[in-house]
Structure 1
Amino acid sequence: MAPGRRGRIVRRTIIITAVVTASLAMEVSGYLATPAEARGEVSWTTLHATVALVFAACAGVAWSIGPSRAPARLMAAFPLVWIPLSFFRVIEDIGWLWPILYGVHLWWAVLTGILVLIYPRGWLVGRADRWIAGIALAAALVFFVGVLLLAQPDAATCDCAPNPYRIADAPALFAAIDIGYRIVGVMLALIIAGRLLARWVRGSVPARTVAFLMPLALLAWATTLAAQAATYAASGTSDGVLATVSLVAIASIPVSFVAGVAHARNMRARVADLMRITREGADRGLWAESLARTLRDASVRVYWWDEERGRYADAAGQPLDHDPADRHGDHSLLPVASPTGMPIALIRHDRVLTDNMRLLDGVSSALRLSVDNGRLRSEIERTLEHVRQSRSRIVEAGDEARRRIERDLHDGAQQQLVSLGMRLRLAANQARDRGVEALGVELDGTIAMLNQALRELRELAHGIHPSLLSSGGLALAVPELAGRCPVPVELDVQAEGRLPEVIESTAYFVVAEALANVAKHSGATRAWVRARIEHDELELVVRDNGVGGAAPDGSGMLGMTDRVDAVGGRLEVESPSGAGTSIAVHIPVDSGVDKPAAA
Structure 2
Amino acid sequence: MAISGYWSTPAEARPETSYATLHALVPLVFAACAGVAWAISESRWPARLMVAFVVLWIPQSIYAVIGGVGWLWPVVRGLDLGWAVVTGIIVLIYPRGVLRERFDRWVVGIAAVASAVNLLAVLLLAAPGDGVCACSAPNPYRVAALPELFAAIDVGYRIIGVGLALAIAVRLLFRWMRGSVPARTVAFLMPLALLAWATTLTAQAVSYAAEARSDQMLATISLIAIASIPVSFVAGVSHARNMRARVADLMRITREGADRGLWAESLARTLRDASVRVYWWDEERGVYADASGTPIPKGDADPRGSQSVLPVASPLGVPIALIRHDRVLTDNMRLLDGVSSALRLSVDNGRLRSEIERTLAHVRESRQRIVEAGDAARRRIERDLHDGAQQQLVSLAMRLRRTSDQARDRGMPAIADEVDAEILLLNAALKELRELAQGLHPSLLAQGGLSLALPELAGRCSVPTEVRVDVAGRLPELVEATAYFVVAEALANVDKHAGATRVWIDASSDGRELRLTVRDNGAGGARLDAGTGIVGVLDRVEAVGGTLELVSESGHGTTITVRLPLVDGVDGAPPTLG
Normalised TM-score (structure 2): 0.94
Residue 485 of structure 1 corresponds to 461
Q: 1:5-43 deviations in whole A, cap 9, x for unaligned?
A: xxxxxxxxxxxxxxxxxxx4xx34433433344333344
Unaligned stretches of 5+ residues in structure 1: 1-23
Residue 325 in structure 1 maps to residue 301 in structure 2? yes
Residue 563 of structure 1 corresponds to 540
Residue 34 of structure 2 corresponds to 59
Match of 2:237 among 261, 268, 271: 261
Residue 5 of structure 1 corresponds to none
Residue 8 of structure 2 corresponds to 33
The 2-side partners of 1:594 and 1:570 are apart by 16
Residue 111 in structure 1 maps to residue 83 in structure 2? no
Shift of 1:257: 0.6
Q: 1:85-118 deviations in whole A, cap 9, x for unaligned?
A: 4523333343333222211111111110111011
Shift of 1:525: 4.0
The 2-side partners of 1:595 and 1:218 are apart by 75
Shift of 1:398: 1.3
Match of 1:572 among 533, 546, 549: 549
Contact 1:213-1:256 at 8 Å conserved across structures: yes
Aligned ranges for residues 539-554 of structure 1 at < 5 Å? 539-554=515-530
Contact 1:151-1:174 at 8 Å conserved across structures: yes
Residue 563 of structure 2 corresponds to 586
The 3-state SS of whatever aligns with 2:305 is coil
The 1-side partners of 2:28 and 2:162 are apart by 24
The 1-side partners of 2:213 and 2:18 are apart by 19
The 3-state SS of whatever aligns with 2:508 is strand
Residue 288 of structure 2 corresponds to 312
Contact 1:499-1:597 at 8 Å conserved across structures: no
The 3-state SS of whatever aligns with 1:543 is strand
The 2-side partners of 1:136 and 1:121 are apart by 21
The 1-side partners of 2:548 and 2:455 are apart by 22
Aligned ranges for residues 138-149 of structure 1 at < 5 Å? 138-149=113-124
Q: 1:231-275 deviations in whole A, cap 9, x for unaligned?
A: 222334322222122112111111111111111111111111111
Aligned ranges for residues 336-485 of structure 1 at < 5 Å? 336-485=312-461
Aligned ranges for residues 224-243 of structure 1 at < 5 Å? 224-243=200-219
Aligned ranges for residues 101-250 of structure 1 at < 5 Å? 101-155=76-130, 157-250=133-226
Aligned AA (2:88):
G
Structure 1 residues 434 and 85: alpha-carbon distance in aligned structure 2, compared to 1, 3 A threshold:
closer
Residue 497 of structure 1 corresponds to 473
Unaligned stretches of 5+ residues in structure 2: none
Shift of 1:159: 2.6
Residue 46 in structure 1 maps to residue 21 in structure 2? yes
Normalised TM-score (structure 1): 0.91
Residue 298 of structure 1 corresponds to 274
Q: 1:43-83 deviations in whole A, cap 9, x for unaligned?
A: 43332222112212222222222121221221111122113
Contact 1:332-1:348 at 8 Å conserved across structures: yes
The 2-side partners of 1:462 and 1:318 are apart by 63
Structure 1 residues 241 and 595: alpha-carbon distance in aligned structure 2, compared to 1, 3 A threshold:
closer
The 3-state SS of whatever aligns with 2:95 is coil
Structure 1 residues 159 and 595: alpha-carbon distance in aligned structure 2, compared to 1, 3 A threshold:
closer
Residue 20 of structure 1 corresponds to none
Structure 1 residues 254 and 507: alpha-carbon distance in aligned structure 2, compared to 1, 3 A threshold:
same
Contact 1:531-1:538 at 8 Å conserved across structures: yes
The 2-side partners of 1:535 and 1:417 are apart by 43
Aligned AA (1:245):
I
Contact 1:569-1:585 at 8 Å conserved across structures: yes
The 3-state SS of whatever aligns with 1:511 is helix
Match of 1:92 among 58, 64, 67: 67
The 2-side partners of 1:142 and 1:595 are apart by 93
The 1-side partners of 2:41 and 2:558 are apart by 67
The 2-side partners of 1:513 and 1:294 are apart by 57
Aligned AA (2:435):
E
Aligned AA (1:564):
V
- Structure 1 stretch displaced more, 33-42 or 402-411: 33-42
Residue 513 of structure 2 corresponds to 537
Contact 1:143-1:181 at 8 Å conserved across structures: yes
The 2-side partners of 1:591 and 1:548 are apart by 34
Aligned AA (2:351):
R
The 3-state SS of whatever aligns with 2:288 is strand
Shift of 1:458: 0.3
Shift of 1:476: 2.1
- Structure 1 stretch displaced more, 103-112 or 324-333: 324-333
Contact 1:333-1:348 at 8 Å conserved across structures: yes
Shift of 1:479: 2.2
The number of residues matched between the two structures is 573
Residue 57 of structure 2 corresponds to 82
**Sequence identity (%):** 70
Contact 1:89-1:160 at 8 Å conserved across structures: no
Shift of 1:558: 2.2
The 1-side partners of 2:416 and 2:163 are apart by 135
- Structure 1 stretch displaced more, 249-258 or 194-203: 194-203
Residue 17 of structure 1 corresponds to none
- Structure 1 stretch displaced more, 519-528 or 74-83: 519-528
The 1-side partners of 2:290 and 2:412 are apart by 99
The 1-side partners of 2:367 and 2:577 are apart by 20
Aligned AA (2:72):
L
